[in-house]
Structure 1
Amino acid sequence: MAPSDTLVLRVAGRPVARYVTRPELPARLSPRPYLHPVTTLAGTAATELSPADHTHHLGVGVAVPDVEGHNFWGGRTFVRDRGPAELGNHGTQRHIAFQLRDPGGFVSELRWVAAGTELLRERRTVAATELTASAWALDFTFALTNVTPGELSIGSPATNGRPGAAYGGFFWRARKEDRAPDVFTADRAGESEVHGTRANWLALAGAGWTLVFAGATEETRRDPWFVRAAEYPGVGSSLAHTERLTVAPGDSVVRRIVTVVADGRLDRQEAAALAGKAVGR
């Protein structure tokens, strides 16, 4: 892989994330750019790449299991009245160019292509900023524009008949440890309590790290959180929770999530304070 295909993000002079634009991956994994490894300021890893339990989980990025029936998530496709199935319907997110790139962040253009046709054009804006001596924030915005002449429909396994599986959108695969991480919001705790809820912020706390995810726009805050802790640690936003999301020709879907990456285990008060600082509230 050429050096121009990767970018290292730095905070206070320390490397905290590596962005891979053109990974060499099999079609079944829905090849796409991703951030991995992402670390705390002390160097503790907070992401996983292609873990054994879900080889299509690729660090931090954007993944959608159903765009007009095309799989941009990777792995099997959930089919109504049939269940998970191996289908040759995987799409690819192709990095085209950087409009801006420096150690503090980047702006890039991507094309979402399936079956030889470009469906979506994405503008991705990512920035890394210092919050405290032990915490920094990854500010991640994506804008998906329908470049086809007709409507595009975005779905999830949940909208296709699998309750509780409304994944699709921004997704962060965290590091799996011997003990499942704690997960909590301002007023709820535990995977079953926070999964599918709408909360201004949500925290995932591991052995020596805490991630605090915050929706930074009104539209993003309306998306329920997709949360896994016991089976594997992962957090994302749900573009299609109970209903499919329709995008008209030329229209865009824009979401912005800011994630606090902190050393140590934060409590509710600390998580709330850092989430507010990260999104300017």
Structure 2
Amino acid sequence: MTMDEQVTLVQTHPLSLGGATVAEYVWRPHLPSLLSPRPYLHPVRTLAGTEVTEAMPVDHLHHLGASVAVPDVGGVNFWGGRTYVRGKGSVPLPNHGVQRHHRWEARTDAVLAHELRWVGPDGATVLRERRRIAARPLDDRAWALDFRYAMHSAAAGPLEFSSPGAKGRIGAGYGGFFWRANRGLRSVRLLGPGGEGAARLHGSRGRWVALSASGPDPWTLVFIDVAAQGDPWFVRGDDYVGVGASLAWAEAFSVAPGEGPRRRIITVVADGALGPRETADLAASVSAASAEPDRGS
């Protein structure tokens, strides 16, 4: 297959505000199975046009902008890369799944809603998901990405969600909504209601965390748990920059047939490197404005 033929297989949809594209949603990617192919947002941009996501960076090829990825659902790797095995560490296994678009429920300039199927390497559906992504303006420097998902187990019995953290790898409880940020030449501060820095915020359960990047084309990302689910935050600021809301931080959990996690994360995408006070005020105002009940996806 030629490169041109591969490109034609990739299908995207823009999210736009005021006629400007602020994000591209790759809803039908064309990726190697080792990356656990899934829909993702990239590039995501500030209102000034600065890219704030990275996809397939050389250090972690399976990091795909902003997406939902879980390292272990019923033994299937929906995260990508190696699989962590207790007592053995991270090993390559032929257990990668894929998230496939099933049907659209809404597709406009600012709102995308669709059903997905999470499929294992044997072709069996593991999860059904309904997802809604919306862009909305906040002010002349910032906009908000409202990301909701609701998972439903397709298994006949209990279905387990797990992570390396739940298998003994300390601090590696990643899995769920995850955003790989584009640091570039910038200096990034990690902010939260309990202070700042990865040592304080990694694994914390505050209502929000933020990345504030100073330097060329500064930006700020504020991740808000508007539904108050209380998932621990997975944060990285040294080897790479990223934030996730973890589903199985230190313990695995099981769901019954037809059941599963449902989450809502709003990410404020702002131009400029905001300080702790400005970031806290922004998180509070967005939370208050988004306090209506989550009716699911």
TM-score with structure 2 setting the length:
0.91
CA deviation digits over 1:138-175, x for unaligned, max 9?
Answer: 00001010011111100010001100001000000000
How big is the shift at 1:96?
1.2
Q: How does 1:254-273 map to 2 (within 5 A)?
A: 254-273=262-281
How big is the shift at 1:277?
2.7
Q: What one-letter code is carried by the residue in structure 1 that aligns with 2:282? A: L
How many Å separate the matches in 2 of 1:256 and 1:245? 19
The alignment partner of 1:46 has SS state of coil
Q: Counterpart in 2 of 1:146?
A: 153
Q: How does 1:46-195 map to 2 (within 5 A)?
A: 46-114=52-120, 115-195=122-202
Q: What one-letter code is carried by the residue in structure 1 that aligns with 2:188? A: P
The question of 1:211 aligning with 2:197 is answered no
- The Cα RMSD (Å) is 1.4
Is the CA contact (8 Å cut-off) linking 2:9 and 2:30 kept in structure 1?
no
CA deviation digits over 1:210-239, x for unaligned, max 9?
Answer: 0000001132xx100000000100000110
Is the CA contact (8 Å cut-off) linking 1:180 and 1:230 kept in structure 2?
no
How big is the shift at 1:180?
4.5
Is the CA contact (8 Å cut-off) linking 2:163 and 2:175 kept in structure 1?
yes
The alignment partner of 1:48 has SS state of coil
The alignment partner of 1:206 has SS state of strand
How big is the shift at 1:271?
1.2
Aligned-pair identity in percent equals: 51
The equivalent position to 1:32 in structure 2, one of 38, 60, 64, is 38
CA deviation digits over 1:45-88, x for unaligned, max 9?
Answer: 00001000100000001000011111000001111000010111
The alignment partner of 1:99 has SS state of strand
In structure 2, do the counterparts of structure 1 residues 209 and 225 end up closer, same or farther at CA, with 3 Å as the change threshold? same
How big is the shift at 1:19?
0.3
In structure 2, do the counterparts of structure 1 residues 13 and 168 end up closer, same or farther at CA, with 3 Å as the change threshold? same
In structure 2, do the counterparts of structure 1 residues 126 and 260 end up closer, same or farther at CA, with 3 Å as the change threshold? same
In structure 2, stretches of 5+ residues that fail to align are 1-6, 292-297
How big is the shift at 1:3?
9.3
Q: Counterpart in 1 of 2:261?
A: 253
In structure 2, do the counterparts of structure 1 residues 3 and 72 end up closer, same or farther at CA, with 3 Å as the change threshold? closer
Q: Counterpart in 2 of 1:41?
A: 47
CA deviation digits over 1:97-140, x for unaligned, max 9?
Answer: 21101011111110000021101001000100000100000000
The alignment partner of 1:223 has SS state of coil
TM-score with structure 1 setting the length:
0.96
Q: How many residues align?
A: 279
How big is the shift at 1:179?
4.6
How big is the shift at 1:7?
0.8
In structure 1, stretches of 5+ residues that fail to align are none
Q: Counterpart in 1 of 2:205?
A: 198
Is the CA contact (8 Å cut-off) linking 1:180 and 1:229 kept in structure 2?
no
Is the CA contact (8 Å cut-off) linking 2:171 and 2:203 kept in structure 1?
yes
Is the CA contact (8 Å cut-off) linking 1:131 and 1:274 kept in structure 2?
no
Is the CA contact (8 Å cut-off) linking 2:179 and 2:244 kept in structure 1?
yes
CA deviation digits over 1:193-223, x for unaligned, max 9?
Answer: 100000111110113000000001132xx10
Q: What one-letter code is carried by the residue in structure 1 that aligns with 2:223? A: F
